[in-house]
Every structure is written in C-alpha cells, then in structure tokens.
Chain A
Amino acid sequence: MNGLTRMKKFHQARWNEPIIYELSEPGQRGVLVPGPCCECASKEEILGTLPEHMVRKDLANLPEIAQLQLVRHYNHLSQENLGVDGNIDIGQGTCTMKYSPKVHERLAGSPKMLHMHPLQPANTAQGVLEIMYKTGELFKAISGLDVFSVQPGGGSHGVLALASVVRAYWRDKGEEEKRDEIITTLFSHPADAAVPIVKGYKVTIIQPDSEGYPDIEAFKAALSDRTAAIFFTNPEDTGIFNVRIKEFTKLAHEKGVLCCYDQANANGLLGITRTAEADFDMSFFNLHKTFSAPHGCGGPATGMVAARKELRPYMPVPLVEYCPEKGYYLDFDLPKSCGKIKSFWGVIPVVLKAYSWIMTLGADGLREVSRVAILNNNYCMKKILAIKGASMSFPNHPSRIEQVRYSWEKLKKDTGFGTADVQRCIADFGTHYWSSHEPFVIPEPFTIEPSESYSKKDIDDYCAVLEEISRMCYEEPEAVEHAPSNSTVHHIDHDYFDDPAKYSITWRSYNRKYKGYFEPK
C-alpha cells in the first residue's frame, strides 16, 4: 500500500470523550493526600488558627474520579492529538517541528532535574548551573556572540528580553526618551512588532519590495535618530534569506541603532551564517525549535538571548558565571540590567535538552541539520509547485532556505476553496497543516517547513496528500465541504467563539448558559 492509499484510509481516534465533569461520581478519588505528620494538634485547633472569614466554607467544585477512569479519560484525549511523534508534521511552517530525542526526556525527567528548588545554594546546584553555563559556551560558536541568558520562556519572551535590553541601553546612554521607535519587517514574526509595543515603542513595519525583501528605501526613510533598534527575522517567514542584511545593519549602526536578530528561523543557517557575521548586536534562539526540545502543546519553552559583550551590563539578571574558587554561580551584580524577564532562571529542562542535542551532533552534525533542512525544503517546494492550484510567494527566487510561504490563490479562484478548507481536509489524512501568520498579505497562504527530521518518503507522502486535496477541491467539492469526516470531531461551529452571549470559556459558564447540548437556558 503506498503512502497516500494508506493515509486515505486513516481514521483518528474519535472517543466522543465527555467533559471531565460529566465523568464525576460523588465519593470517587484519584489520589489520596498524606494525613497529619503527627498528633501535635487537632484539626479544629489547626483550622482555628485561621481567621474565620478566610476559611473556605464549601468544597471547590472539582470532578470526583477514580484513577483508572482519570487515566482513561486523558489517554483518550491524547489519542485525539497528533504531535510530531504521530504525524508528518511539516505543515506548521515557521515553527521548526522536528524530532525530540527520547534520551533527552530521560535526562530531563531525572530526579536530578525534577526535584531541584530554584533557590538552593549554588554549591548544591553545580550540575544544573554547569548545563546552563555550558549551553552559553556552545552558543558562542553557534551565534558568534558573547553573553547569554536562558531566562525567556519562548520566542516572544525572547523579543521582550531584547526590547528590555534596548530600553536599558538607551536609558544608560541618556536617550531613552528620544529613542522611542523600533523598525521591523512584515515577514518577521508578529511578536517582533507586538512585543516592543508593550515596552512602549512605536513600531514601523517595513513592507516587502517586489522581490520579497524588506524594502530598503522604506527602511532608509524610517531610520532616524529616534530609532532605538531594529528587529529583523532572517530568513523571513517566506523562507527568503535577506541577502542585503548587512546593508540594513550598516545603515542602522550608522545611526547608532541597536540591531536585534530574530533567529527563530535559524534551522537552515547553522554553520553557514550567524548573527555575528550579519553584524547584529543581539539575537534570540528558540531552543524548542531549532534545538530540538519538544513544543509541549505550546510550551514550556526557551527563547535564549545572545548579545555582544558590550551589552552585558544590560542583560537580564542573573547571568550564570564560573570561577575556579566558587564553581558555577548566579551573578546578580548587574546594576544597569534591564531587570528580570521570568520567574527564577528560565525553563531549565528545555535548556538541558538543547545542550544534549548540540553535544550529540557537534559542528558537523549541526551543519548537516541545516544542509538537509534546505535540501528537504527545496525538494518539497518543487513537488508542491507541481500541484494544481498551488503557487508560491515571490516566485522569482530560485531556492529557499528552510521553509516556503505558498498560496492557494489559483485554487480559490478555480474552485472557491482556499487555505482554511485545505486545513479542514487534511485532518482526514492523519496530518496537520497551518496557514500562516496574519495578516494574509499572500492570498490563501500556507507555510511548509520540512525540517531535517523528515525522510524523503515523508515529504513524498505529505505532498501526495496535498495533491489529493487539490484534486478533491476540483473534482469532489462535496467531500471538501463536509470535511473533516475521519477526524476526532466534525465541523465546529465558529459562531460560538466571538459572541459574549454564546461563548463559554469554562464548564461553569456553559452550565449557566446552556442545558443539554447547547440548548440556551
């Protein structure tokens, strides 16, 4: 049976799983809690220490469920989820869905990680501090920069850290008030615009020119002595490497502007080009993307910040340092720091996974990661462009780095079906497809990123599915309209997500608004 035939016969688990409250039965318990540690005081005496009005009189309305029934419920839910381990997960472009080695889970799941309290004295935490420190040392080679913080809890948080460093830098230079603008590009990640706004910046978004590069004339016009920093993703979400990147950083530096490189899309660049070579002052890397830590349904994650040594005074506190007398330790002595970005020190299990990954692959392996990511992408691109109704943005570029933003504009024109319809259909084939970041400046967009984890056959199968969906759009419109039919649930009514009278974000709210199955009360 070939891949497409097999995938056409797919049916995802459909358990019609109840809401956990519907499984609740009075008196059931999932786990028991230790009783008192000794007989030193009665329960009445203990509760009597609390002010009467601060004691909760009722029990919290939580479900009551025995352990097997609880495990069964969550196992059913997990089966109604795919994940990288369950599908050819190349349809989530910009997110670098790749394999997360199991040995990393074993290491990060060790009691030596799980049971570490963040405020333990450094001499009891030498192992975990060493991992944090040495990860920074590895990134010296990977980024070409000098100082590192693993504090941010994701890519957007990395942008927040960079924007905070920018503000601290200009405060120190006495230009915090004047330098109140940040420049980014349309095909940078949305966070590169959204996050600096939280830090009080006015943001200018540079539109692409006809070739898909950020318009350099528009950039020159936007740059001024009010510009605090630029935030550029490269390659951009189109998969196009901005070949004039050094011109941009040169122009910015001439105005004294700090250059921040969003390296969330770095999977095709390892060992080829770096932040330092492009003359950026700072960057962040997603350890949960390029560096293999799993995405966990959307975190926990790490947006590791890297900077030139001149910017060390402004970095988030604390930094991890080493000296022979003290060993590894947290250095809080940064009086000009931008402050803290996250509770405690960051998501250390994610750091450990990235460290393990880099130390497994080495310089040659990392370069091979990027070479194969590029190879896979360009192979996939040629296959997709052969599909009826599909095209790509900015078709003049002969090749792309690690991903491509495509378009179903023609499919839409021909059949009335667009990217959202393809998205619904693909669930019937046991895989996943995302459209693209908004706004949809490229009509009916989709973004495919076949990272190095995927085999040639994986890519062939995925492309065969896209081709089949295209065929269905042209030849079997009814099947497309009703999709998905082999997924976890059927067509979801989106009217229930925007109207305050209809939406319910909790079961409690549902029960106040409805009885039975969505019958208004």
Chain B
Amino acid sequence: MAAKSYPYIPNSVAEVQEEMLRFIGVGSIEDLIADIPEEVRMKEPMELPEPFEDEAGIYRHVSGIMNKNSTAEELRCFLGAGCYNRYVPAVVDEVINRSEFLTAYAGEPYEDHGRFHALFEYQSMMAELLDFDVCNVPNYDGSQACGTALRMATRITKRKEVLIPRNLNPDVLKVVETYLQPDVKITYVNYNDKTGRICLDSLKACLTDKAAAVLVMNPNFFGIIEDKAQEIADMAHKAGALMVAYVEPSTLGVLTPPSRYGADIACGDIQPLGIHMNYGGGVAGFVATSEKPEIIEEYPSRLFGIAPTSEGEWGFGDVLWERTSFANRDSAKEFVGTHSALWGIAAGVYLASMGPQGMKELGEAILQRQVCLKKVLSKIKGVKLDRFSGTSFEEIVVDFSGTGKTVKEINEKLLEKGILGGFDLGKCFPGLEGCSLLCVTEQTTAEDIKAIADALSEIIG
C-alpha cells in the first residue's frame, strides 16, 4: 500500500485502493498479477536515483541541467544545414500549447473535430505553397518524407532504383539509406564541382529505364538553387522516372514551387515554418503531389479529407483508410503511426499568420541578408566565396582553405566570440575541406553580420 500521496496517481490513496480491491473481490494488487511467473519477476527494486518528489525540486533539478546549454538565441547563429533559426510567432506557441491540442491523441472526427479541421487546413495551405493538390498529415521528418517520396515513386513506376544527388543534405541521406534498404537500389549522381549543382552529364550516365525517381534537393545542401530543375525533370520523365524535389518550404514565397519545374512529388521538412529547433526535435516531414488516384493510393500517411454532415457542417475524416498500416498490417504501403501532428498544426498557424505577402517578404528578407553577408565577407582577405558558381539562397559556402586554418579551428575561435559558425563541409564532402556552410535567417541582424566579419578578420589575421 502506498505510504505517500502522488499528485499524478489519485488512486494511490490506501483507502481507495482497499475499496476498489473489495469491489474486485481480491485481497491485494499482487493477486491481480499472480499469473506473471516468478521466473520473469524482478528480484530487486529498480535502482533509480532518489526522486525529486515536489514540483519545485524537479523544476530546479532539470532547469539546472538545461542551463548548461548556450542557445542560438544567446549566441549569434550562422548554423543551418537543415535546421533553421527562424522566428516563431507567439501565436504559434499559443495555439499548439493549448492543452486540447497538446494532450489529444487519436480521437474521432466528432469529439476531436478540431485537430482534423486544423490539419486539413494545414494540408490545404501547404498545397498552395507547393502548388500541388494533395499534402499529407506530417510524418516524422523531412528525411522520412524523402524516403517515403522515393518509395512511393518505386511503387508508382514499379521500378526499384532511385537516383540521389551527392549534394543532398548528408543527414537526410543517411536516414534515406536506412529507409530504402534493402530492396531499393540507390545510384548516386555527382554534382558539378564548379557550379555545385547536379551534374547533368553524371545524371545522363546514371539514368536508365530502371530508375523510378530522380531526386533533386532545391536549394541543394550547398544552398545553391538547382536552376536546371526543369531539364532534370524532363530527363527523368523521358526515362519513365518521376522527379522528386526535396524543397525548403519557407523559400517558396520567392522561389518557384516544385510543381512548376516538373516535380511529380515534393517533400521536405516543415521546421522552418514556425517550429522551434529543439535541438533537432522540431522537425516534421511533408509529401505533396497532384491528385491522381494512382499516386494518392501510394501514400502511407494519414490524409484528412472534407465531407458533408447531416446538418450541413464541415466534417472531416480519413481518406482511403485501407491504404494504411492501421487497416492492413501485412499488406500496407509502408507504415503509419504517431508522427508529428502537432508540428503540422504549428506550421498551419504559421502559414496563416504569414499570409501570401508574409511568405514573400520572408524570402526577400532572407535573400537580402545572404547577399549582405556575402558582400561583407568578400572584403576579408583569404576568404573565398566562389568555391561554387551557382546562385545561393539562404546558405553560402565560404572557403577558408586559403587561410591555413581549418573550419574546426575557425569555429572554435568564433565560439569564443559568441558566434556559432557554419557547418564544416569537409566532414562529409571530399574535396570541400576548408569550406564552411554559413546560414542566415530573417533573425540575422546587420550587427550579427558585422560581428562575424570582424571576428573572421581577426581570426584569419
């Protein structure tokens, strides 16, 4: 019998337990689990630290640990590489922290009408941003979305090979490799060493009638716009393959949406649309396509649809439930489960609060800072910005190889001055040793840019 009271366990009170046991007709809780055999029982209690039973104590303990972090808000952040230090409007946090959303799970379209409605709107707004007709309820992250988009392509084309460019985000690539193993073959397409874009000759050499999909990341991992995307799509289509575009959705107020350069499937991560970075936990994936039934049939994800009710209201529910692994465990299209619905609601609130004009201005604000950063850094002796000739959007490749210092050394010195330097490209890309990927967001200020320029001048000497 519990000797103490637990705020989260109302029936830990001894008298209540006795009353319930009497009703059941047994003498103790132990009697209820008598069938768990001795051989699988724990012989000793779990060896856990002494708990912080009161709320003030646990708050002090955990925040004490977390205070050891230095955040991107406290430092000047020039890190991107798939996770972006965007401003998250307060309305987004307000909505997703409402406990009706936060603590709900899988309620029905009646008592949990709200989440169906909000996620239908999310799908609708994402479709407009991407200029497609269909978007899914979010999956785990952009990496899984990419893996799913490629697997969808294999099912649609009934082919088993996908072409992946080497200028894809290496973190995404690692997850996609795991996700596609063992039955989907990956062929890697080189990037052009001068432009940083996909090498069309390499693509041509790899592309056969075995290919289900050609993947394009746009802007690619080097931050460079794949401006030959339409040609790539045409080549893919000619070979009977689909073109899959991995896009950063917050660029699409300014950049052409993927459907307009021939993409059949768009995928990516919605973190830049109003989701806090959370040490990489604030990620969620999207897949978007046209409305062809043969394509929709291949989504593994939940797809919420709109329907009439008997009283003329907007009702919602699951479209083509039978596709999913919930309905069909051993013949499903991949699988579905608890993914990232709350982040989908967040991105919906973000897109609605930004509106058409806001998304355009966001893109312009980012582009302006990138141009500004490049201008300022170009004045520093030894720093080269022409490693790749392709056009940048929110991230730039900065080549320190002529400075005699490694990116690691430079980043350590920058950190001493309160600056989070860029992603060390040499770690993942042979031939790019000494190159750093620097990122701006709309939160980057002129002071930040001046600070990193001053710091680099001093470090490089």
Contacts and interface: CB of A to CB of B under 8 A. Distances in A.
A194 interface: yes
Contacts of A277: 39-42
Contacts of A16: 313
A126 B71 CA distance: 11
A361 B51 CA distance: 6
Given A55-B256, A490-B311, A63 B355 contact: yes
A120 B330 CA distance: 41
A84 B330 contact: no
B51 A30 contact: no
B459 interface: no
Interface string B80-112: 011101011101011111111111111111111
Contacts of B317: 492, 494, 496-497
Interface stretch (B200-208, B237-245, B340-348): B340-348
* Most A C-beta atoms less than 10 A away, residue of B82, B103, B341, B352: B103
Main secondary structure of the interface of A (DSSP, over half): loop
Contact of A506 (B112, B113, B134, B341): B134
Given A131-B66, A382-B24, A455-B10, A505 B135 contact: yes
A198 B252 contact: no
Contacts of B362: 33
B357 A379 contact: no
Contact of A359 (B46, B58, B183, B325): B58
Contacts of B211: none
A245 to B, nearest CB: 6
A415 interface: no
Interface string B276-294: 1111111110000001010
Interface stretch (B186-194, B397-405, B443-451): B443-451
Contacts of B74: 115
Contact of A127 (B67, B302, B371): B67
A61 B257 CA distance: 12
Interface residues of A, number: 220
Given A295-B103, A438-B328, A103 B69 contact: no
* Most B C-beta atoms less than 10 A away, residue of A111, A317, A495: A111
Nearest to B225: A54
B276 A297 contact: no
B69 A128 contact: yes
Interface in A329-359: 338-350, 352, 355-356, 358-359
Contact of A117 (B85, B227, B310): B85
Given A200-B183, A297-B105, A455-B10, A82 B111 contact: yes
A434 B105 CA distance: 11
Interface string A409-428: 00000000000000110110
B319 A503 contact: yes
B129 interface: yes
B409 to A, nearest CB: 12
Nearest to A508: B127
Contacts of B31: 399
Interface string A83-119: 1111101001001011111010111011111111111
B330 A197 contact: yes
A505 to B, nearest CB: 5
B306 A504 contact: yes
Interface string B53-76: 101001101110111111111110
A510 interface: yes
B138 to A, nearest CB: 8
B118 interface: yes
Contacts of B338: 153-156, 286, 288, 295, 298-299, 301
A472 interface: no
Given A56-B255, A379-B23, A454-B10, A246 B46 contact: no
Contact of B65 (A67, A81, A82, A127): A127
Contacts of B115: 77, 81, 297-298
A349 B411 contact: no
* Most A C-beta atoms less than 10 A away, residue of B119, B172, B277, B364: B277
A99 B312 CA distance: 35
A116 B367 contact: no
B40 A245 contact: yes
Contact of A518 (B120, B137, B308): B308
A456 interface: yes
A389 B53 CA distance: 44
A47 B367 contact: yes
Contact of B113 (A81, A130, A134, A195): A81
Given A271-B45, A361-B6, A80 B114 contact: yes
B320 A97 contact: no
B106 A92 contact: yes
Nearest to B148: A198
A509 B133 contact: yes
B309 A493 contact: yes
B326 interface: yes
A292 to B, nearest CB: 8
Given A368-B2, A489-B315, 5 more contacts: A33-B354, A59-B356, A82-B111, A360-B8, A362-B53
